[in-house]
Structure 1
Amino acid sequence: MTRVLHILDHSLPLHSGYTFRTRAILKSQQAAGLTVRGVSGPRHADAGPEIEEIDGLTFHRVAGRFAGPPGLSEWREIEAFREGIEGVARQWQPEVLHAHSPALCGMAGLRAAKRLGLPFVYEIRAFWEDAAVGNGTGREGSLKYRLTRALENRVVAGADAVFTICKGLRDDLVARGHDGEKIGLSPNGVDLALFGDPVARDDALAHALGIGAGPVVGFIGSFYDYEGLDDLVAALPALRQRHPHAQLLLVGGGPMDEALRAQAAASPAGDAIVFTGRVPHAEVERYYSLIDVLAYPRKHSRLTDLVTPLKPLEAMAQRRIVAASDVGGHRELITDGQTGLLFPPDDPTGMAASLADFIDRRDSWPTMRKAGRAHVAAHHDWARNVQRYQRVYQDLIGHDGSAVA
């Protein structure tokens, strides 16, 4: 029974796309017969015990705070995390170390693996220098951007095997000169066992929020600038010219929350825009039930071209109708006119026209719902995706397995 230690930036009980993907991977590997644990680094911002059991999963914690100028503080963090990983590994005796981006986790894992004589797998979910640009905390081409990219290159070069979540990330690494033969795909996925038939419309919630007959266009997630929600708000007046009762439901929060509320208040369609704020994860399905078209209007950027999001897959798994901007990350998930709609990015007028036409063709939606669910089942079900890891693990253990000293 293969024992795999996953090296993580953060984990459950924190809720994020990162932690939900981690949970899906570990639970699927458990179901496939692997023995797994996780170890999170100093950026896991949750005050919990040193070893934590959550949802049938075991997580070890490596804590600490690191001062110093940029570069030095990160190196101190890497070394502390490396030491913590080695401590867990010597106690638990894994056969494989599997680190997940960012590169700080990757470098800590790589250094630990070399010292322990263990195979090392590195998984990239996004290039974090581009994610920093997308969420407004970094600038493309800055010193920090270039250092982060260089660190990632070192980890990829040193890893025994690499996974990326989508083709865009893999192609970018190959273009940098990395060996494509050792870079596999582990696409975003869902546990289809968690997604049955969609729940009926929650009329009580609709009444409480002031949601009418619609059509209702909605977004559920984090309000970052790259998500393009300002374009969706700007598109609503034109959409209502053709569908006068259309409403926009925005569920969640984030850095753009205040700006979006101000934009909505100034909009001629402001009375048709409903903000709920953040809602408990257990309640999200009720909000999904009110939405006719789940919209993902991501802006065109390096980040959105290279990275595939999880939310559209979750929506398709629930047989929901999805519409998304025509950027690279969405094109890997959605086939226009078959499993959903692709509309022009950064173009509220074009977005409104596409959505209006799409609503006019709603008689095609039942077929689209079935096609979306079938696409997820065929290409993004964790019960199948987990086999990609197992093949690589067995190959590495067969060639390079060794016990921890």
Structure 2
Amino acid sequence: MTRILHVLDHSLPLHSGYTFRTRAILKAQEAMGWHVRGVTGQRHAAGGEDAAAAVVEVDGLMFYRTSGTSAGLPLVREWSEVAALADRIVEVAGEWRPDVLHAHSPALCGLAAVRAGKKLGIPVVYEIRAFWEDAAVGNGTGREGSAKYWLTRVLENDVVRAADRVVTICEGLRQDLIARGFAPEKLSIMRNGVDLQLFGDPLPRDVALGVELGLGDGPVIGFLGSFYPYEGLDDLIAAMPAIVAAVPDARLLMVGGGPAEADLRAQAAASPAAGAIRFVGRVPHHDVDRYYSLVDVVCYPRKGMRLTDLVTPLKPLEAMAQGTLVAASNVGGHRELIQNGVTGTLFPPDDPAGLAAAMSGLLADRSGWQARRDTAAAYVRAQHDWADNVRHYDSVYQALLPISQRPVAAA
């Protein structure tokens, strides 16, 4: 049986979009009959969970940890992380003997895998979920055009060049790599998917929770996720007075937290529509379905920038699978997932007035809601079910392995 060692920045039990995609991939690959494990770098320890453990089992998945902490001057610190992770990969390989190293962004993971792969004579697949220099700009921790921005881009290019095969999560990222001069035949797409065992069976409306939150009869607009500047939640809050003027019973439910939370709460408190906006903070992952059950339309007002134009988010797919209507800004990452007027509603980015007009129109006319919910859920089942999507890895691995080692997928 083919063994795939996934090289990761962090993993479960930490909760993030990154760890949930990882879980979905590993679980789906296991279901196909492949043997999979993960190894995380020193940055996982920053989360504080199982930091001292060498090996942990979480949700039936095995993860090896890299000891030590990330410290020191910039560049020296990063190279130290790469060296430590590469050494840990080699150590794990001596025990478990993987056939493929499958590294996931950021580039530091890819660099460690490439270094270890050369030493071990094992092929390396590098998977890009986002360009991390663009993610830093979107998170407000970096500046486009800075020395750090370009250094990160150079490192990414080095990993793409050195890896045996490269996969991205969407066409936007793939086309950007082709524009940089990389051969299209080296690049594959492994689209974001949804574990329909977790998201395919929505709960009925949690009436008691709705009363507790004071949502009334709605309709309820929701955002469930991380509060980063690039998510454009300030535009959604700015649109609420116009939305409430058009649909007086409309409410906004904000579930989650993050770097922008304090500013967003202050903006909401000062809004003429403050009485229609509810913040509930972060909730346990197993309770997220209860909050989804209260939401009529999930809104993703991402700002227009390189990050959002190139990268497809996971949350809209999860919402569609839950049978919830989706509205989103008309940026490239959303256009790959949402067909306006068919599977969702698109509105102009960075434009609270345009957002308000689109949402007010959608909320005022419910006649087509169920048909759109059904169409969107069918789209996710057909195009973004991890149980099917994971099969696309098969051709990538097969191209790298001798015939005797090639994976045989379960029927």
TM-score (structure 1 length as normaliser): 0.97
Partner of 1:24: 24
Does residue 279 (structure 1) correspond to residue 279 (structure 2)? The answer is no
Match of 1:94, SS state, is coil
C-alpha contact 1:217 1:293 (8 A) present in aligned 2: yes
Does residue 69 (structure 1) correspond to residue 73 (structure 2)? The answer is yes
Match of 2:302, SS state, is coil
Q: 1:81 aligns with which of 67, 74, 85?
A: 85
C-alpha contact 1:161 1:392 (8 A) present in aligned 2: yes
Task: Trace 1:240-389 onto structure 2 (pairs within 5 A).
Answer: 240-389=244-393
Match of 2:259, SS state, is coil
Q: Share of identical aligned residues, percent?
A: 64
Deviation at 1:312, TM superposition (A): 0.3
Deviation at 1:401, TM superposition (A): 6.7
CA distance in 1, matches of 2:254, 2:49: 31
Compared with structure 1, are the counterparts of its residues 66 and 236 closer, same or farther at alpha carbon in structure 2 (3 Å cutoff)?
closer
1:111-169 CA-partner distances (Å, limit 9, x unpaired): 10011101110000000010001001111111111111100100000111110000000
Q: Which amino acid aligns with 2:62?
A: T
CA distance in 1, matches of 2:244, 2:279: 18
122-131 vs 71-80, which deviates more? 71-80
Task: Trace 1:5-404 onto structure 2 (pairs within 5 A).
Answer: 5-45=5-45, 46-48=48-50, 49-398=53-402
1:338-363 CA-partner distances (Å, limit 9, x unpaired): 00100111100110001111122321
Match of 1:389, SS state, is helix
C-alpha contact 1:103 1:151 (8 A) present in aligned 2: yes
Deviation at 1:398, TM superposition (A): 2.3
185-194 vs 22-31, which deviates more? 185-194
C-alpha contact 2:14 2:49 (8 A) present in aligned 1: no
187-196 vs 96-105, which deviates more? 187-196
C-alpha contact 1:223 1:229 (8 A) present in aligned 2: yes
Deviation at 1:252, TM superposition (A): 0.7
Deviation at 1:232, TM superposition (A): 0.3
C-alpha contact 2:254 2:278 (8 A) present in aligned 1: yes
Match of 1:396, SS state, is coil
CA distance in 2, matches of 1:22, 1:200: 28
Deviation at 1:65, TM superposition (A): 2.3
Q: Which amino acid aligns with 2:100?
A: V
CA distance in 2, matches of 1:194, 1:147: 39
TM-score (structure 2 length as normaliser): 0.96
Compared with structure 1, are the counterparts of its residues 313 and 114 closer, same or farther at alpha carbon in structure 2 (3 Å cutoff)?
same
CA distance in 2, matches of 1:399, 1:326: 45
CA distance in 1, matches of 2:301, 2:130: 19
CA distance in 1, matches of 2:67, 2:371: 50
CA distance in 1, matches of 2:134, 2:108: 15
C-alpha contact 1:202 1:286 (8 A) present in aligned 2: yes
Match of 2:44, SS state, is coil
Deviation at 1:195, TM superposition (A): 2.8
CA distance in 1, matches of 2:199, 2:73: 47
Deviation at 1:400, TM superposition (A): 11
CA distance in 2, matches of 1:41, 1:401: 27
C-alpha contact 1:319 1:369 (8 A) present in aligned 2: yes
1:181-211 CA-partner distances (Å, limit 9, x unpaired): 1100001001112234421111111111111
Deviation at 1:229, TM superposition (A): 0.5
> How many residue pairs align between the two structures?
402
CA distance in 2, matches of 1:398, 1:235: 57
Deviation at 1:55, TM superposition (A): 1.0
Match of 2:235, SS state, is helix
Q: Which amino acid aligns with 1:326?
A: N
Deviation at 1:66, TM superposition (A): 4.0
Match of 1:334, SS state, is coil
Partner of 1:3: 3
C-alpha contact 2:124 2:164 (8 A) present in aligned 1: yes
C-alpha contact 2:42 2:70 (8 A) present in aligned 1: no
Deviation at 1:214, TM superposition (A): 1.1
Match of 2:10, SS state, is coil
CA distance in 1, matches of 2:10, 2:202: 31
CA distance in 2, matches of 1:83, 1:198: 44
CA distance in 1, matches of 2:77, 2:262: 33
CA distance in 2, matches of 1:36, 1:280: 27
C-alpha contact 1:110 1:120 (8 A) present in aligned 2: yes
Q: Which runs of 5+ in 2 are unaligned?
A: 407-411
C-alpha contact 1:168 1:329 (8 A) present in aligned 2: yes
Partner of 2:409: none
